[in-house]
Amino acid sequence: MHRQFSTEAGPRHSTVVSGLRNAALFAFLLAAVWAPTSASAAAPAGCAALQTKYPQFKDKQLVNAINPHTPGYEAIDPKDPNKYVGFDIDLGEAIGECLGFTLTYKPVTFAALLTTLASGQADIVISDIYATEERAKAADFITYSKVFDGVLVAKGNPKKITGINISMCGAAAAENTGFVEVPLVQALIPECKAAGKPEPTLQLYDNNANCIQAILAGRADTYVNDVNTVDQAVKANPDKLEKAIAVTIPYSVGIAVPKDKPDFRDAVMAALIEVQKAGTHKALLAKWELDPNNFKEPDILSVK
Amino acid sequence: MSLFVHYLSLPYLIEGIWFTVAVTALGLGGGLILGLVLAAMQLSRFAVLAVLARGYTVIFRGTPLILQMVFAYDALPQIGLKLSAIGAAGLALAANEAPFIAEMLRAGVLGVDRGQVLAGQALGMTPALLMRRIIAPQAIRTMIPAFGNETVSALKNSSLASVISVQELTLRSTQLASSTFDFFSIFFASGLIYLVLTSLVSVIQLFVERALDLDRVAPQGRLAIFLPWRRVDLQTKAKLAEQTAPTAPPHSLLPEMPAPRPTSRSDRAKHAAMVERNNVAVEVTGLHKNYGEQTVLNGVDLTVRVGEVVALLGPSGSGKSTLLRCINHLENWDSGMVRVGGRRLGHSDDGRKLTPRAIANERASVGVGMVFQQFNLFSHLTARENVAGPLRWVHGWSRTDADRRAQELLERVGLSHRADALPRHLSGGQQQRVAIARALAPNPSVLLLDEPTSALDPELVNEVLEVIRRLAVDDGLTMIISTHQIRFADEVADRVAFLSGGSIIEQGPAHQILSNPQHPATARFLSVMEADKAPESTS
């Protein structure tokens, strides 16, 4: 179910995608022939061709809007707070390296990621944002990762929550403003009513830290978010928090780019394919201790 | 605890202070400029400007700063105005602070005693000069606490810039908390940093308040001497002890003042006859003025010749003060004409109405001095500066000349030893004598005195009357005095004019009218006044 936006979902982009695929495959084969030992090298060989094809992005400095509150994906480096680190940061820089641009970072709230992009204050958003039809009205997405959510609860799971289901009836769920989990929890309201149980309530915050604090302070019973984020929170507070369960969410994580720049979208997509072909994507998943099952070949999600 | 100290000294957080301070400074600086414009628009004579300013205030005071920040950051780029994050935050904060600062400025300006503004106008100060020399110095002093408040609130409000990616203290704290999970240590540390910053603002506020405190002596109030209106010669500054010395009895304050010369009735008559042949100093014809329904002046005709002293008598509300203010053009009138020294006031040669600025210049050149019931001394200036200041600002005198003139006049009114005292450290009688010196300083052709002793305690009346008497008798100054001192009028005035209901019902030689009034209203008024005032009359 969670694959509804991937390859089999849309004829609207299949031509472009398959064309790119072929080009990428060709590039990969070339790379394999010419530099068989460079699979994990910094700039895959196919990137040179892309830089020739898309010279307009070469040597540019682009702005990446991020919500740097998700350790493992994007957060400041505790050892050097002037740097942002994480899987998304590395992936973005690998794509930038492939196309010849560098990135600077603009930290905004989660809800402001796409408005910042739309207003031109940022060029790209690589910030663990799920590509939904709704969000695709504001930006084009290049999806690159499957989504597994974890259900964070207080140690011992006092409310016996087993997932986004009627076990959440009457519970208080902390979420960030704009998160896809918000409508999923809201969708439980009629189910709970039908079952004669109290409705779940939502508490909206601005970042992960606040959601986690809400559980630690006893204000919220659960926080459903990316499983890695949940694992990190449990690791930081092993005697107070636990992961009740991991659930599948029917979305993909995507890189957001402006709707009015299709050449940039296609260039990023092509570069991502190169990065994946070079093995960099999987290497980065391993580096940041993320589940290799997250890996997903890229697609474009674009709606009018 | 060690974590707390670690974060407190973390360069990442410390550097965030710079962004916090930068946004605050942009917001306050921009807000001050915009606030000045808004306040000026609201105080302006033009209604359209006031309405525009009011509209701005409604919008920017009535919407949350966080929305304004997001608007400046995300919406302005849609119209091609792409500011940096700090720029957008500074702009939003400035736009938000401006209405609050404008209200502070407006309250400060309106809080300055209206009488001092009148006195400044009477001395020929233009609106700009009044603002710079009289209103602003006093308003700024009263606004410092409010401005301190505003600074602290702007500093805290700058944390909202975190929503538009300004790397200030709050954003850095939340990011750090997200990546390290040391939520409380980090927020205690950044809270303490904010506390240090706001405390610093309080300290600066107290320091500025202290430095501008007029009651402090010069060596400690070093800052004050850098202000243009306080550049007083330090060497001539008297000690505070002297300034606050209790007021001695009036007569001991007038050592160099000779006793009034006894002037015989025949001398007075001779003087009156001589004056009658002099040129006309003031000519008022057919003066009408209404306040809405109420008629204040109902066709006043009055001619005053050079060297003549005219006393205006009459019950309260009879129009005496209004008549005097019209002669100085501090008030407008509905019809009629006022000429001083042959010049028609309030109109240019081609008959058009003058602007406030032109009227001020006219006052300065025609030379009409005015003394008010409530003294209206500039309360932030010493006695000497009250006299010397307007000479420099309005008449372009040098500091040395103006100070010399002030000293000379203060000597004449018996107050040279209090030259460095502030008005609030002077008795009422002393203040009125300084006010007379101030009015005399530019050598006016006519001196108007509006009930100069009515606000004084009875025991202080004489010292002021003595000064006025000497001006009349020794200096032969042309004066129009509204007064309730019948005996004084009898001794000093050549002529009295009795006002009732906005017109002069009886006028003539002083002694004749006062001893033998023809109009029943005059007689009634005089008998009441004599009965009331007899014990206090002058010797």
Of A238-247, B240-249, B488-497, the range with the lowest mean pLDDT is B240-249
Q: B80 touching A, CB under 8 A? A: no
Give me the domains of chain B, ranges plus CATH numbers.
2-230 (1.10.3720.10), 264-367+445-536 (3.40.50.300), 378-443 (no CATH)
CB contact under 8 Å between A78 and B172, yes or no, is: no
pLDDT over 90, % of chain A: 63
Question: Searching chain A, which residue's CA lies closest to the CA of residue B166?
Answer: A107
Between B77, B163, B178, which is nearest A68 by CB? B178
Confidence of residue B224 (pLDDT cuts 50, 70, 90): low
Q: Which two tokens stand for residue B348?
A: 């240019």
Confidence of residue A151 (pLDDT cuts 50, 70, 90): very high
Which residues in chain A (232-261) have CB-CB distances under 8 A to chain B? 233, 236-237
pLDDT over 70, % of chain B: 88
Confidence of residue B217 (pLDDT cuts 50, 70, 90): low
CB contact under 8 Å between B176 and A69, yes or no, is: no
pLDDT at B77: 83
pLDDT at B528: 85
Question: Searching chain A, which residue's CA lies closest to the CA of residue B16?
Answer: A82
Of A1-5, B102-106, B399-403, the range with the lowest mean pLDDT is A1-5
Give me the domains of chain A, ranges plus CATH numbers.
7-147+250-301 (3.40.190.10), 149-249 (3.40.190.10)
**What whole-number distance in Å separates Cα of residue A257 and Cα of residue B466?**
89
Over residues A265-281, the mean pLDDT reads 94
B80-109 pLDDT tens trace = 888 888 999 999 999 999 999 999 999 999
Q: B74 touching A, CB under 8 A? A: yes
pLDDT at B140: 92
Over residues A205-209, the mean pLDDT reads 86
CB contact under 8 Å between A109 and B178, yes or no, is: no
CA A170 to each of CA A173, A183, A196: distance values in angstroms, whole numbers, following the listed order: 9, 16, 11
Which has the higher per-residue pLDDT, B442 or B269? B442
Residue A213 CA, distance from chain mean position? 22
**What whole-number distance in Å separates Cα of residue B140 and Cα of residue B86?**
29
pLDDT greater than 50 at residue B241: no
User: Which residues in chain B have their CB less than 8 angstroms from residue A71's CB?
Assistant: 178-179
Contact A143, A131 (CB under 8 A): yes
**What whole-number distance in Å separates Cα of residue B150 and Cα of residue B146?**
6
Which has the higher per-residue pLDDT, B226 or B135? B135
Q: B85 touching A, CB under 8 A? A: yes
Question: Searching chain B, which residue's CA lies closest to the CA of residue A77?
Answer: B179
Between A109, A120, A210, which is nearest B82 by CB? A120
User: Which residues in chain B have their CB less than 8 angstroms from residue A233's CB?
Assistant: 181
A103-135 pLDDT tens trace = 999 999 888 899 899 988 999 999 999 999 889
CB contact under 8 Å between A107 and B175, yes or no, is: yes
pLDDT greater than 60 at residue B245: no
pLDDT greater than 60 at residue A143: yes
The answer for residues whose C-beta is within 8 angstroms of residue B73's C-beta and 6 or more apart is A116, A119, A121, B83, B85, B88, B89, B92, B164, B165
User: Which residues in chain B have their CB less than 8 angstroms from residue A114's CB?
Assistant: none
CB contact under 8 Å between B77 and A77, yes or no, is: no
pLDDT greater than 60 at residue B239: no
| CA-based nearest distance A75→chain B, Å | 5
A53-105 pLDDT tens trace = 999 999 999 999 999 988 899 999 988 999 999 999 999 999 999 999 999 99
Angle, CA B432 vertex, CA B428 and CA B435 arms, to 5°: 140
A162-172 pLDDT tens trace = 999 999 999 99
Q: Which two tokens stand for residue A130?
A: 């799920």
Between A78, A82, A112, which is nearest B179 by CB? A78
Q: Which two tokens stand for residue B489?
A: 């009028």
pLDDT greater than 70 at residue B265: no
User: Which residues in chain A have their CB less than 8 angstroms from residue B74's CB?
Assistant: 112, 115-116, 118-119, 121
User: Which residues in chain A have their CB less than 8 angstroms from residue B10's CB?
Assistant: 81
CB contact under 8 Å between A209 and B174, yes or no, is: yes
B289-348 pLDDT tens trace = 998 888 899 999 999 999 999 999 998 888 999 999 999 888 888 888 888 888 887 776
Over residues B113-131, the mean pLDDT reads 93
pLDDT greater than 90 at residue B407: yes
Q: A78 touching B, CB under 8 A? A: yes
pLDDT at B254: 42
**What whole-number distance in Å separates Cα of residue A154 and Cα of residue A159?**
9
CB contact under 8 Å between B78 and A119, yes or no, is: yes
The answer for residues whose C-beta is within 8 angstroms of residue B379's C-beta and 6 or more apart is B113, B116, B138, B422, B423, B424
Between B73, B75, B175, which is nearest A76 by CB? B175
pLDDT at B303: 93
CB contact under 8 Å between B178 and A75, yes or no, is: yes
pLDDT greater than 50 at residue A29: no
Three-state SS at B330 = coil
User: Which residues in chain B have their CB less than 8 angstroms from residue A109's CB?
Assistant: 163
Over residues B202-214, the mean pLDDT reads 92
Of B23-37, B323-337, B351-365, the range with the lowest mean pLDDT is B351-365
Q: B171 touching A, CB under 8 A? A: yes
| CA-based nearest distance A227→chain B, Å | 16
User: Which residues in chain A have their CB less than 8 angstroms from residue B163's CB?
Assistant: 108-109, 112
Q: B165 touching A, CB under 8 A? A: yes
Q: Using CA of residue B156, residue B157, residue B161, residue B163, what is the dihedral sign? A: positive
CB-CB neighbours of A209 under 10 Å: 27
Q: Where does residue B28 rank: exposed (0-12), middle (13-18), buried (19+ CB within 10 A)? A: buried
Kindly give the interhelix angle for B169-180 and B11-43, rounded to the nearest 10 degrees: 150
CB contact under 8 Å between A118 and B179, yes or no, is: no
| CA-based nearest distance A132→chain B, Å | 22
pLDDT greater than 90 at residue A145: yes
CB contact under 8 Å between B179 and A119, yes or no, is: no
Q: B183 touching A, CB under 8 A? A: yes
CB contact under 8 Å between B82 and A121, yes or no, is: yes
**What whole-number distance in Å separates Cα of residue A300 and Cα of residue B122?**
79
Between A119, A213, A233, which is nearest B74 by CB? A119
pLDDT greater than 80 at residue A30: no
pLDDT greater than 90 at residue B473: no
> Which region, left, alpha or beta, applies to residue B8 given φ > 0 means left and ψ of -120 to 50 means alpha?
alpha
Of A6-15, A126-135, B328-337, B454-463, the range with the lowest mean pLDDT is A6-15
pLDDT greater than 50 at residue B221: no
Q: B6 touching A, CB under 8 A? A: no
Q: Where does residue A215 rank: exposed (0-12), middle (13-18), buried (19+ CB within 10 A)? A: buried
pLDDT at B213: 87
pLDDT greater than 90 at residue B439: yes
User: Which residues in chain A have their CB less than 8 angstroms from residue B164's CB?
Assistant: 108, 112
The answer for residues whose C-beta is within 8 angstroms of residue B241's C-beta and 6 or more apart is none
pLDDT greater than 70 at residue B220: no
pLDDT at B227: 55
